[in-house]
Amino acid sequence: MAPENRRAQILDKLADHVLAHGLSASSLRPLAKAAATSDRMLLYYFADKGELISAVLQHIAGRMVTLMEAAATPEPLPYDALLARLFAALSDPGFAPYMRVFLEVASGAANGDAALAQIGETIGRGFLDWGKAQLQSDTPDADAARLLVTLEGTVFLRAIGMGDVCQTALGPTG
Amino acid sequence: MAPENRRAQILDKLADHVLAHGLSASSLRPLAKAAATSDRMLLYYFADKGELISAVLQHIAGRMVTLMEAAATPEPLPYDALLARLFAALSDPGFAPYMRVFLEVASGAANGDAALAQIGETIGRGFLDWGKAQLQSDTPDADAARLLVTLEGTVFLRAIGMGDVCQTALGPTG
DNA sequence: ACATCAATGTAGCAGTCGCTACAAGAGCCA
DNA sequence: TGGCTCTTGTAGCGACTGCTACATTGATGT
C-alpha cells in the first residue's frame, strides 16, 4: 500500500483509540495495538510521539467538524435557541468523547504543552467561527463568545459530575 | 516531631509542588524532593499514591477556600457585578495555579478517575454554594449555576489561549 | 542497661515509557 | 543475477513508574 494511504489508515484507528481511552492512555504500545501494528512502525510513519499526537488530534478535529456540519441548522438561530440546541447536542453520547479529549488538551495546554495549546486554540477558534455563522444576532461576536464560554463551562462541569448544575443554569435562559 | 505535624508539613510542600508543576509532573520522586524527603517516606506517611494525591488536593482546596474568603464581598452583589468581580479575581496570577490544577482534576475525572471526580465535585459544589451566598438575586440557584458555568468556561478557554474571547463574552454583559 | 518500636536510609523489583540499532524480507532497476 | 531501497520484525537501551524488603538509627519505657 502507498505509504500515505497506510499512514491515513493508521491515523484513523489511532483516533478511535484516543477518543475511546483518552490521551493519558495513549502511549505508543497501546496505540500500536489499536492500529494493529507495532510501536516501531508508528515511529516509522511519524517522526516522534509529538508529531503523532498532533496528527491524531488534527484528524479528530476533522471528524468533529464533520459532526458539527451535520448538526448545523439551515438557518441562523437566536442566541437562546442555539444555546439550547448545542447544549443538547453536547449531551449526545456520540459527542462526549470529543469533549473529553478537548478537555484533556486544554489541561495539557495549561500545563505548558505548546503543541497541545496550539491545537486546542485552533479547535476553539473553529468552534467560535462556526457558532457565529449559526447565530442570528445584532452582536454576533459577543454572542458567539458568550455561547462558547457557556458551552465549555458545561463541558467542564459535566466532567466533575455536575451536569445537574448545567441544566439549572441553562433552564431559565434557554 | 509528632507524626501528624510532620505529615501536615510535608503536605504543605507537596501542595506547593502540585500547584507549581501540575499533577502530571507529580510522581513520587519529584514530590519527595520538593518536600525534602524520600519517596520511601511519602509512602510511610501515606498509604499509597492515591491517598497522597487525595490528601494534597484536599489541602489545596482548603487553601483555595481561604483565598476565596479573602475575596468575598461584605454584601451580596447582583449577578453582573459579581461575575465581573470574580472574573477579575480569576485573572489574578495567584489564582491561576488553582485553576490549572482544577482543570487537570476535571480532565482526570472525565477519563474515569473516580477519586479525582469525587474531589472535583466537592470543590465545584463548594464554589457553587459560595457564589450563591455572594449573590443578590431573586433566583439564586439559577444565577449561581449560570455564574459557575460561565466562570469555568473562562478557565477552559484561557487554558487554550482564548482569554480574549472571555473578555469579549463578559464585556457587554458585565 | 536492655528491650522495644517508630522513623528513616539503601537498594532494588517488575513494569512502562519513548526511542533506536540491527537485520531480514520484498519489490525494483541494471 | 546482483545490488538497492522501502518496509517491517526483533531486541533492547536507559530512564522513569509505584512500591517494597531489609537494615539501621534513635528515642523511650522499664
Q: Which residue of A has its CA nearest to B101?
A: A107
Q: Spell out the residues 6+ positions from residue B11 whose beta carbon is closer than 8 angstroms to its own.
A: B55, B56, B59
A92 and A48 inside one domain? no
Would residue A63 count as lying in a domain? Answer: no
Select from B22, B142, B150 the Cβ nearest to the Cβ of A149.
B150
Within 7 Å: CB of A6 and strand D? yes
Question: Could you give the number of structural domains in chain A?
Answer: 2
Among residues A49, A107, A7, the alpha carbon closest in space to that of B120 is found at A107
Please say if the pLDDT value at position A174 is more than 60: no
Would residue A9 count as lying in a domain? Answer: yes
**What pTM, to 2 d.p., does this model score?**
0.95
A86 and A49 inside one domain? no
In tens, the pLDDT along A17-76 reads: 999 999 999 999 999 999 999 999 999 999 999 999 999 999 999 999 999 988 899 999
A106 and A47 inside one domain? no
Please say if the pLDDT value at position A7 is more than 50: yes
Would residue B167 count as lying in a domain? Answer: yes
Would residue B67 count as lying in a domain? Answer: no
In 10 A of CB B4, how many CB atoms? 9
Within 7 Å: CB of B51 and strand D? no
In tens, the pLDDT along A109-118 reads: 999 999 999 9
B47 and B79 inside one domain? no
Contacts of B146 in chain A (CB under 8 A): 169, 173
**pLDDT at position A1:** 53
Say yes or no for a CB contact (<8 Å) between A157 and B152.
yes
A33 and A77 inside one domain? no
A76 and A139 inside one domain? yes
DSSP per-residue letters across B66-108: HHHHHH--SS-B-HHHHHHHHHHHHHSTTTHHHHHHHHHHHHH
B98 and B45 inside one domain? no
Give the CATH number of the domain where residue B26 resides.
Answer: 1.10.10.60
Q: How confident is the model at residue A171 (pLDDT cuts 50, 70, 90)?
A: confident
Question: 3-state DSSP call for residue A104?
Answer: helix
Would residue B64 count as lying in a domain? Answer: no
> Strand C: which of residues 3-32 in chain B lie with Cβ below 7 A?
3, 6
A47 and A90 inside one domain? no
Would residue B105 count as lying in a domain? Answer: yes
> Strand C: which of residues 80-139 in chain B lie with Cβ below 7 A?
none
B35 and B101 inside one domain? no
Chain A, chain B: beta-carbon pairs less than 8 Å apart: 160
Strand (E) or helix (H) holding B115:
helix B114-134
Write out the residue range of the structural domain in which residue B11 sits: 1-59
Would residue B3 count as lying in a domain? Answer: yes
Secondary structure letter of residue B161 according to DSSP: T
Protein-contacted bases of chain D (C-beta within 7 A): 6-12, 16-21
In 10 A of CB B69, how many CB atoms? 9
Tell me the three cell numbers of residue A85.
Answer: 440546541
A79 and A29 inside one domain? no
Protein-contacted bases of chain C (C-beta within 7 A): 6-12, 16-21
